[in-house]
Amino acid sequence: MKFKVDNNDVFASTGGRPFDKKKPLIIFVHGSGLTHMTWVLQTRYFAFHGYNALAVDLPGHGLSGGESLKSIEEMADWVSAVIDAVGHKEASLVGHSQGCLVTVECTSRYPDKIKTLSLMGGAGAIPMNPQLLSLAENNDPKAVDLMMDWAHGPAGHFGGHPVPGLYHINTGTMLAKSRTIQNTLGVDFRACDNYKNGFEAAKKIKCPTLSILATDDKMCPVIEGKKLAALIEGSQIDIIDNCGHMMLLEEADRVLTVLKKFITNNYPPLSS
Amino acid sequence: MSDKKKELKPNTYKFDTLSLHAGYQPHKNAGSRQVPIYQTTSYLFDDVDHAAALFNLERGGHIYSRISNPTVGVLEERVASLEGGTAALATSSGMSAIFLAVMTLCEAGDHLVVSSQLYGGTVNLFRLTLPKFGIKCTFVKPRDTEGFKKAIQKNTKGIFGELVGNPGNEIMNMPEIAKIAHEAGIPLMVDATYQTPYLCKPFEHGADIVIHSLTKWMAGHGSSMAGILVEGGKFDWMQNDKFPTMTKPYEGYHGLSFAEEFGPTAFTMKARAEGMRDFGPCLSPQNAWNVLQGIETLSVRMKKHCSNAEEMVKYLMNHESVAWVSHPSVPDHPDHELAKKLLPNGRGSMIAFGIKGGKEAGVAFINNVKLASHLANVGDTRTLVIHPASGTHSQMDEATLKFAGLSHDMIRLSVGIEDIEDIKNDFEVGFRAARKPRLVSNQ
Ligand SMILES: Cc1ncc(COP(=O)(O)O)c(C=O)c1O
């Protein structure tokens, strides 16, 4: 569906079900340079089971208008504005990678609004490799190829997508190249590199929090994810073996099973 | 270690490695090193919730082998990876892949612009069968790049062609024709059966959908029928209102919009969800496995196919019994330069040549070769020959033959990977008989 935030068009997938104000809201926030499409194997489930599942395209990304936001803090405020824009008072947040920085910051800023927080491949800080950052800022497609290489674990490099016929390394590449690289990936990588408030923000979080980490994640290694989780009161951790940073695709079913249990327990759906 | 900063290089697997490994993880399949053949029609649901989730496309997985099958799925991913595509859908034959691609794209009242140099079966589909579904086509000669532009109408939904036309070896200027298609807001579909991704990856030259008859070089061993359609993932279905079945809520799936929901894989998702469900040309797991076996050695075989073909071109060009030779490697072939650009790894193994002595000589040649197989297929590991004027096209008169790009003296040769000396020796026997056709045929 389309709506406006700050006068810009926002696109959000509703997981194939119409938006219904009565249902609780879950917002899914994608990683650097990507789009709502990365969440397709999670959102549709929630959409069919009593939730409004909103996988947003950040400004300047995917099908959304406007320009990419330059800092994690601005993105955090923007996510809060999305909740207002769709007429809700509260939401559950789910983030992947950069989306974890955004949702952690958002939860710490708006503690009354955010009811649960699910982090996938998250860390308290995501310092960027300077060469990768510079390639992305210079619009070099090699930045996307490197990201796809590092983001998939050794098993993920062979494929074996849960949806028959899809080859996710090429799909991810196509998503990240669908708009001008320097305006999406370049701006996002810089925002990640600049963001320093993750650990402080984490300390303020009081809502139920889940971290899904993967043993072969090179971008946000398990040890970094654990450091962040340790600062969040009562947070749960789930570690997936044989999987890289793109766990939401590489091990989509496992991620969905864990996520389903966590969200439905802590933020129940509208029963039909 | 030197302290000089190393330049970063992506280490995703390359072509030869993907040919062997893509789409398959042994640790998820009892450690089986080979891809297992899932000889089953259907798959257990964990519970009712799981069943509903699969039917609603909420999660990946298999329901029924008409829609998808794990062995076939490995093949699909493997071909998508080799082509540089986002997704693929395998079918029971090349023809069903073409049909599914058209039916996923078009509705009654739509129009396609189509190259006139196509495999005969495809010509019939476009000329005679699609009109029965209300889909009309305009044929354009493959070298007439501007002609493709002129033929586009308001209701045109795509351009279709074979990169190298058969049997005339005419090459379409794919990058230019892709531009024309994209300016008109429509996709370019390319049948790249004769090239395989080893020789050409059409997505790198602007194609949006690639189709293969896997029956040919991809499977390679003349054992199994199979086809596939592969999606490039770049085409923006939402840029105009030409593709409502991709962009508008689809009644058959709870109001799903394929383009919104699946973006770079929307075409394949629709072809599977709608096309496989309703038409059902699914590939058998055994045949998928056979094709996978072929693909494991694709680059090794294609190298030999191409080097043997170039040897045969030289041999035929210098042969007293041969009137003409058509192959893109021949320097005076009209598309010689374009072929170098689009097919840098080799120009393919299909050769057409004219035998001196016309139809009678052609018949004698075909009847006397012993190693080369006389049959209606191409892209086998074995060398294949056919004389269209006396076989597949024997009902045609001279004028009709000419229109189809054929002639009485033409022999079509699909060069195999036998020892090149043995192929040449066999051809000598054929040529000798052709020079004395009556003598030999009276024996
Ligand atoms: C170029 C081309 N496309 C498609 C086909 C049809 O493929 P199949 O025979 O696998 O149905 C053929 C078959 O000869 C072909 O040569």
> B12 CB near a chain A CB, below 8 Å?
yes
> B104 CB near a chain A CB, below 8 Å?
no
Q: Inter-axis angle of helices A40-47 and A252-266, to 10 degrees?
A: 40
B101-131 tens-digit pLDDT: 999 999 999 999 999 999 989 999 999 999 9
Closest alpha carbon to B346 in B318, B308, B295, B294: B308
Q: Is B122 in the pocket of ligand 1 (CB under 6 A)?
A: yes
- Which residue in A15, A44, A171 is closest to B265 by CB distance? A171
Structure tokens at A38: 């990365």
Distance from CA of A216 to the nearest CA of B (A): 15
> A161 CB near a chain B CB, below 8 Å?
yes
CB contact under 8 A, A44 and B52: no
Cα atoms in the 13 Å half-sphere on the side-chain side of B403: 9
Q: For residues B364 and B367, give the distance between their C-alpha atoms in angstroms, rounded to a whole number.
A: 5
* Chosen from A17, A19, A166 to mutate, greatest number of chain B CBs within 10 A: A166
B1 has pLDDT over 60: no
Sign of CA dihedral B113, B117, B118, B124: positive
Per-residue pLDDT of chain A (272 residues; tens, 9 = 90+): 999 999 999 999 999 889 999 999 999 999 999 999 999 999 999 999 999 999 999 999 999 999 999 999 999 999 999 999 999 999 999 999 999 999 999 999 999 999 999 999 999 999 999 999 999 999 999 999 999 999 999 999 999 888 999 999 999 999 999 999 999 999 999 999 999 999 999 999 999 999 999 999 999 999 999 999 999 999 999 999 999 999 999 999 999 999 999 999 999 999 86
Q: Which of residues 94-133 of A touch B (CB under 8 A)?
A: 129, 131-132
Q: Residues of B with CB below 8 A from A62's CB?
A: 263
Structure tokens at B387: 């004389």
Helix, strand and coil in chain B, % to nearest 5: 45, 15, 45
CB contact under 8 A, B77 and A165: yes
ipTM comes to 0.95
**CB neighbourhood size of B41 (10 A):** 9
B82-108 tens-digit pLDDT: 999 999 999 999 999 999 999 999 999
Please name each of the domains of chain B with its CATH number: 15-294 (3.40.640.10), 299-442 (3.90.1150.10)
Q: For residues A220 and A226, give the distance between their C-alpha atoms in angstroms, rounded to a whole number.
A: 10
> A20 CB near a chain B CB, below 8 Å?
no
Closest alpha carbon to B225 in B125, B94, B37, B41: B94
Tokens 């021949």 correspond to what residue? Answer: B330
DSSP letter assigned to residue B282 = P
B288-302 tens-digit pLDDT: 999 999 999 999 999
> B63 CB near a chain A CB, below 8 Å?
no
Q: Write out the DSSP string of B196-221.
A: HHHH--GGGGT-SEEEEETTTTTT-S
Hey, which of B193, B210, B349, B386 would you mutate to test ligand 1's pocket, going by the most ligand atoms within 8 Å of its Cβ? B193
Q: Is B76 in the pocket of ligand 1 (CB under 6 A)?
A: no
Q: What is the CA radius of gyration of chain A?
A: 17
Structure tokens at A208: 């139920």
Residue B443 has a pLDDT of 43
Largest Cα span, chain B = 81
Q: Residues of B with CB below 8 A from A151's CB?
A: none
Q: Is B213 in the pocket of ligand 1 (CB under 6 A)?
A: yes
CB contact under 8 A, A159 and B87: no
Q: How far is CA A254 from CA A41, B56, B59, B350, in A?
A: 11, 18, 11, 48
Cα-based torsion angle of the residue sequence A91, A94, A97, A98 in order, rounded to the nearest 10 degrees: -20
Q: For residues A266 and A262, give the distance between their C-alpha atoms in angstroms, rounded to a whole number.
A: 6
Higher pLDDT, B256 or B442: B256
Amino acid identity of residue B307, one-letter, is S
For B21, residues 6+ apart whose C-beta sits below 8 A from its C-beta are A158, B13
Lowest mean pLDDT among A21-35, B157-171, B228-242: B157-171
Q: Residues of B with CB below 8 A from A16's CB?
A: 56-57, 253-256, 261
Q: For residues B221 and B132, give the distance between their C-alpha atoms in angstroms, rounded to a whole number.
A: 35
Cα nearest neighbour of A153 on chain B: B12
B349, B195 Cβ separation under 8 angstroms: no
Cα nearest neighbour of B89 on chain A: A165
Q: Is B227 in the pocket of ligand 1 (CB under 6 A)?
A: yes
- Which residue in B25, B58, B85 is closest to A167 by CB distance? B85
What does pTM read for this prediction? Answer: 0.96
Split at pLDDT 50, 70, 90, the class of B402 is: confident
Please name each of the domains of chain A with its CATH number: 2-126+195-266 (3.40.50.1820)
A84, A21 Cβ separation under 8 angstroms: no
The mean of the pLDDT values for chain B is: 94
Amino acid identity of residue A137, one-letter, is E
CB contact under 8 A, B86 and A166: yes
Pairing of strands A209-214, A114-120: parallel
Structure tokens at B103: 């039916």
B345 has pLDDT over 80: yes
B437 has pLDDT over 70: no
Q: Residues of A with CB below 8 A from B252's CB?
A: none
Q: Residues of A with CB below 8 A from B61's CB?
A: 162, 253
- Which residue in A63, A160, A164 is closest to B24 by CB distance? A160
Q: Is B193 in the pocket of ligand 1 (CB under 6 A)?
A: yes
Task: Decide: residue A203, CB within 10 A, 0-12 exposed, 13-18 middle, 19+ buried.
Answer: exposed
> A268 CB near a chain B CB, below 8 Å?
no
Split at pLDDT 50, 70, 90, the class of B3 is: very low
> A240 CB near a chain B CB, below 8 Å?
no
> A149 CB near a chain B CB, below 8 Å?
yes
Distance from CA of B148 to the nearest CA of A (A): 27
- Which residue in A45, A169, A175 is closest to B58 by CB distance? A45
Q: Write out the DSSP string of A100-137.
A: HHHHHHHHHH-TTTEEEEEEES--S--PPPHHHHHHHH
Cα nearest neighbour of B80 on chain A: A167
Q: For residues B435 and B319, give the distance between their C-alpha atoms in angstroms, rounded to a whole number.
A: 12
Residue B393 has a pLDDT of 77
**Strands lying side by side in the sheet with B350-355:** B322-326, B350-355, B410-414, B384-386, B373-374
- Which residue in B61, B72, B233 is closest to A170 by CB distance? B233
Closest alpha carbon to B257 in B267, B265, B247: B247
For B245, residues 6+ apart whose C-beta sits below 8 A from its C-beta are B107, B258, B270
Residue B439 has a pLDDT of 52
Task: Decide: residue B214, CB within 10 A, 0-12 exposed, 13-18 middle, 19+ buried.
Answer: buried
Distance from CA of A72 to the nearest CA of B (A): 26
> A164 CB near a chain B CB, below 8 Å?
yes
For B385, residues 6+ apart whose C-beta sits below 8 A from its C-beta are B365, B366, B369, B372, B373, B374, B411, B412, B413, B414
CB contact under 8 A, B27 and A146: no
Task: Decide: residue A64, CB within 10 A, 0-12 exposed, 13-18 middle, 19+ buried.
Answer: buried
Which bin fits B46, alpha (ψ -120 to 50), beta or left (φ > 0)? Answer: alpha
Q: Write out the DSSP string of B90-142.
A: EESSHHHHHHHHHHHH--TT-EEEEES---HHHHHIIIIIGGGGT-EEEEE-T
Split at pLDDT 50, 70, 90, the class of B168 is: confident
Tokens 């829609």 correspond to what residue? Answer: B67
Sign of CA dihedral B150, B151, B155, B160: negative
Among the residues of B204-335, which ranges form H helices? 244-247, 258-262, 266-270, 277-278, 285-296, 298-317
DSSP letter assigned to residue B274 = I
